């Protein structure tokens, strides 16, 4: 906008209508040149901002779809084995901290007498963790469904993952094979948090077993296997560290003791009600503190 000296009325009107700057007569061409260059820079900045905003909106849409796909590849129909509901029940949930997460759970039938089930937590956050999660889950399932032992499943999957790992990504995993007629659970722990056993009488204890190393780091690593037997009415609960490492506004962690306190005396609850109750208890504890990590919980109960 160019105006006569002191013509503040026109200057204010022009600025209110979007003028970048003004120059007064008589015109100083050097000053006018600087003013025009400044205006051009501002216009370019706005154009770039609009373009980045459009790209960001597109990325947000892609992330939302990726989150839906990620949830879709996890088992979501409960009870998953209705034909065996009188003998056992299993349920799980995964609540990501962002649009996509690095946690996963899975369960599948190996044969008429055995099912495999697992819970896992991939290192890192965001899209890289989500992609590595999908790869890990696929390799573990395709290996476990062949009916190999828990140890062999983890060792073979680990070897395959080491060939796919980028930037030293790894995954902690707890893989189990449940023998339906006897209640025996064979399991292999690859660096994961130890599960809890909720006994029929309401008492709670944390499983004591070898931790082993995580998967995806050392291709020729040898893992150990262990087993327990669930009695009628017992429940095995697996979780990721998004549960015990949840924080409240006072910067306190939920912790393993609170998990045990929540589980105590709840042997009458079915797996789905048990895990949903634990998630609710964690959220109540966290209050207004934002969720900083994915939360995944799995429970299997012998009927």
CB–CB of 117/300 below 8 Å?
Answer: yes
Nearest CA to 104 out of 249, 294, 270 is that of: 294
Please report how the helices 29-72 and 126-144 are oriented relative to each other, as an axis angle in degrees rounded to 10. 20
CB–CB of 199/267 below 8 Å?
Answer: yes
Which letter, b or e, does each residue of 119-156 get, where b requires 16 or more Cβ atoms within 10 Å of its Cβ?
Answer: bbbbbbbebbbbbbbbbbbebbbebbeeebebbbbbbb
CATH 3.60.40.10 corresponds to the domain 74-302: yes
Over the chain (303 residues), what is each successive 10-residue block's mean pLDDT?
72 78 77 83 83 73 67 88 96 90 94 98 86 92 97 97 81 98 98 97 94 93 96 98 97 97 97 98 97 96 97
Domain ranges of the chain: 1-72, 74-302
Q: What is the pLDDT of residue 300?
A: 98
Phi and psi at 174, nearest 5°, equal -125, 110
Q: What is the pLDDT of residue 61?
A: 65
Cα 274 from Cα 251, distance rounded (Å): 26
pTM, two decimal places: 0.82
Q: How many Cα atoms occupy the beta-carbon half-sphere of 37 within 13 Å?
A: 6
Cα 140 from Cα 154, distance rounded (Å): 7
């Amino acid at each position: 906008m160019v105006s006569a000296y002191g013509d503040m009325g026109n200057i204010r009107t022009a600025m209110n209508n979007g003028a970048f700057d003004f120059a007064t007569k008589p015109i100083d061409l050097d000053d006018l040149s600087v003013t025009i260059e400044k205006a051009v820079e501002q216009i370019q900045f706005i154009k770039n901002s609009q373009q980045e905003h459009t790209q960001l909106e597109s990325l947000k849409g892609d992330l939302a779809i990726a989150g839906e796909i990620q949830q879709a590849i996890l088992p979501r129909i409960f009870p998953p084995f209705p034909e065996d509901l009188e003998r056992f029940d299993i349920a799980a949930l995964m609540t990501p901290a962002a649009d996509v997460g690095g946690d996963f759970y899975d369960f599948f039938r190996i044969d008429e007498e055995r099912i495999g089930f697992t819970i896992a937590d991939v290192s890192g956050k965001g899209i890289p963790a989500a992609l590595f999660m999908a790869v890990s889950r696929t390799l573990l399932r395709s290996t476990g469904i062949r009916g190999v032992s828990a140890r062999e499943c983890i060792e073979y999957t680990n070897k395959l993952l080491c060939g796919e790992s980028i930037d030293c990504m790894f995954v902690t995993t707890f893989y189990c094979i449940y023998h339906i007629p006897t209640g025996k659970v064979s399991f292999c722990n690859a660096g994961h948090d130890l599960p809890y056993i909720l006994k029929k009488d309401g008492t709670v204890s944390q499983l004591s077993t070898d931790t082993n190393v995580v998967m995806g780091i050392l291709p020729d690593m040898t893992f150990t296997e262990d087993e327990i037997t669930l009695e009628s009415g017992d429940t095995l609960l697996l979780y990721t560290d998004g549960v015990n490492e949840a924080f409240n506004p006072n910067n306190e962690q939920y912790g393993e003791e609170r998990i045990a306190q929540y589980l105590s005396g709840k042997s009458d609850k079915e797996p789905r009600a048990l895990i949903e109750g634990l998630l609710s208890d964690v959220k109540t504890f966290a209050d207004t503190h934002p969720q900083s990590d994915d939360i995944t919980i799995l429970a299997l109960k012998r009927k």
